[in-house]
Amino acid sequence: MNSGEIARLAGVSVRTLRHYHQVGVLPEPHRRANGYREYAVGDLILLLRVRRLTEIGVPLDEIPALLESATHADSVLEQLDAELAAQIDRLTARREVIARLRAAGAAPDTPPELAGLLGAYGPTGLPSALLAQDRDLSILLHHLLDEDGRRELRALYASLHRPELLAELHALTARFAALDAGTPEHERDALLAAYRRMFARVFADGYPSIDAPQLASLFADYQSTAFNDAQRAFLDRMVADFPDGHRTAG
């Protein structure tokens, strides 16, 4: 048999066959006078054994020893089984995340813990750029926080997205989006007072403790490009209301 024939019979490609020779998994067969490889039935059987081992996940560098002696076959199979069990656990966890994202109608890159909350705005009529900025900052904050901080963040979003608050939050967000250099000072003061009243209700039991290294500087860098001067000045005034240790964008 030549290379093409043995590869066809074994159900592998000629490229795979040559790779097995290169890595030493399959010994080089006898060559004809013209230099072409000449395979025998024994080579086909060996190739089939190699193929079977690779199909169950045995690494190529472990195959020669396993072919020579089956004394450590049980330990190899035990290791493979453990690796497959771990893969199944990881895949199951991924499917659970995908199910949560699909149920919430969330984008694939949304942290699953925030899926339902980031999607709670719905069709608000708010500028898409502002909604994207809120999403960006939420993803950044979620990434930087530890597990305790993420629980606090979820609780904060759950509070802000209560049905009775959503309409008010949408209205305030729209007013914030309209801030610019021409916004009168009394309108800025009125908006700040409205935010303060809402936060007083949301945080009636105290402000959440959210802290993360580099958070303030990263938020400041983001705000420098995402918001105009009037919006940044307003955020500085609003953040000043939060007690020390509870500021996420100061």
Q: How far is it, in rounded angstroms, from Cα 165 to Cα 14?
A: 66
Interval 89-98: pLDDT, tens: 999 999 999 9
Pair 54, 62: CB distance under 8 Å: no
Interval 78-119: pLDDT, tens: 989 999 999 999 999 999 999 988 888 888 888 888 887 765
For the residues 210-230, what does the mean pLDDT come to? 78
**pTM for the full model?**
0.62
Q: How far is it, in rounded angstroms, from Cα 52 to Cα 49?
A: 5
In the block, tokens 């895949």 appear at: 91
Query: Is pLDDT of 37 > 60?
Result: yes
**Is the pLDDT higher at 127 or at 150?**
150
Residue 6: per-residue pLDDT: 96
Residue 190: per-residue pLDDT: 95
- CB atoms inside a 10 Å sphere around CB 225: 6
Instruction: Indicate the domain borders of the chain.
Output: 3-71, 108-239
Nearest to 191 by CA among 138, 241, 125: 241
For helices 128-144 and 215-226, the axis angle rounded to 10 degrees is: 170
Residue 243: per-residue pLDDT: 54
Residue 125: per-residue pLDDT: 62
Residue 246: per-residue pLDDT: 46
For helices 41-55 and 3-10, the axis angle rounded to 10 degrees is: 50
Give the percent of the chain with pLDDT over 70.
87
Average pLDDT over the chain, rounded to an integer: 83
CATH fold of 3-71 reads Multidrug-efflux Transporter Regulator; Chain: A; Domain 2 (1.10.1660)
Query: Is pLDDT of 126 > 60?
Result: yes
Query: Is pLDDT of 13 > 80?
Result: yes
Confidence of residue 249 (pLDDT cuts 50, 70, 90): very low
Query: Is pLDDT of 164 > 80?
Result: no
Residue 87: per-residue pLDDT: 95
